[in-house]
Amino acid sequence: MFVLHVMPRLGPAERAMRSPRPSMEIAAAVLRAVMVAIPLWAAGCDDQDDASHRSDDAGEQAGAVAAVFLSQDEGRIEISRRDEYVAEMNRFDLQLRTGSLEPVTVDDYLRAMPPHVLEFSEGERQRVTAALSTVLDRMAATGLKPPEDPAEVQLVRTDGKEEGDALAYTRSASIFLCDGLFTMEDALFTHVIAHELFHVWSRANPDVVRWPTHEALGFVRAEDISFPASLAERRITNPDDPKVHETIHVQLDGKPVEVFLAIMASKDYEGGSLLDYIQLELIEPASAASHPLDSAQGLFEQIGTTTPEILSAEEISAEHFAIGLLQDRPINDPELIEAVLRPFAQ
């Protein structure tokens, strides 16, 4: 059992005004580390339940969650589904994922995905099952419980090249586990599994998990935000968090401003990998004005500095969950860690 020291929580406006910015050393370190953290997804849905394509012998029970290892053929079906992620893709997304310098249709993209799917080896299945058991055992030991929905998690093995050599990522109730993940040592492997499980639980339980954990970071839930037309084709869609759902209040030049956090491409696709293009920006919904993260005052006072993976509120929350559960990284913001674990308290 671990104990977290809980600090008083402030509202979004109070936190944004609390101090001009964290020490420049901390802010700079976090921003530099973002490029190191990105590979969890970049180097992290069909909402209708369809069990007809699952192998009868693919399920393995790990605590309260059934892990369903999809075969290569089943995985090819899963990766080719038209879901929320696919619906959000723009021209840059489609070209990047297929490596094409020419325009790509959604049908072209879906046809290009199945070759990336692989079979799980027996050793890989055992390693994933062990990591799932570690996560669930740790939850039980600390008084936490997985949500009932979903009752099972589908696992798909890929080479990761379809997502810029990602370690892992999610779509609906499926976790895609990539080549790079299986080169990781066990502690990081388990950390990634915990992170991806959070995404699945957050997606399936928005009112219990997603929104409370995002709001604890200072983000304010909004109706679906339409990307400004001038920026829409530069947006990079994250399969773990395809839509922009929330804004956050910061200060720019001493004035309070509402912005959303966006993963953007620095230029049109010219070949190469995701890491050649990716950058984070703060965008004002009304004016479409874009700002670099280090220009905002009050941002890190709200989202904290425990993790450099600050691609979105969802990614911050997933990292806070994994760190808080496994206690495998230094914790700078214990009150944020407690907030992300609270929805799982029994």
Q: How confident is the model at residue 35 (pLDDT cuts 50, 70, 90)?
A: very low
Q: Each residue of 274-306: pLDDT tens digit?
A: 989 999 999 999 889 999 999 999 999 999 999
Does 214 or 25 have the greater pLDDT score?
214
**For residue 311, which of 276, 260, 266, 270 has the smallest C-alpha distance?**
260
| pLDDT of 316 | 98
Q: Each residue of 221-268: pLDDT tens digit?
A: 987 688 888 899 999 999 999 999 999 999 999 999 999 999 999 999
Percent of all residues in the chain with a pLDDT value above 90, rounded to a whole number: 76
d(CA 155, CA 141) in angstroms, rounded, equals 25
- For strands 168-171 and 255-265, give the pairing: unpaired
Two tokens at 296?
């905002």
d(CA 280, CA 293) in angstroms, rounded, equals 7
- Sign of the Cα torsion 297, 299, 305, 307 reads negative
Q: Each residue of 302-333: pLDDT tens digit?
A: 999 999 999 999 999 999 999 999 999 999 99
Domain ranges of the chain: 66-217+312-344, 218-301
**For residue 64, which of 147, 172, 173 has the smallest C-alpha distance?**
147
User: Which of 13-27, 89-103, 197-211 is least confident?
Assistant: 13-27
d(CA 147, CA 245) in angstroms, rounded, equals 22
Q: Return the amino acid letter for 315.
A: E
Q: What is the SS3 assignment for 313?
A: helix
Two tokens at 199?
């995404």
Query: Would you say 212 and 147 are in contact if contact means Cβ atoms under 8 Å apart?
Result: no
| pLDDT of 18 | 40
| pLDDT of 227 | 84
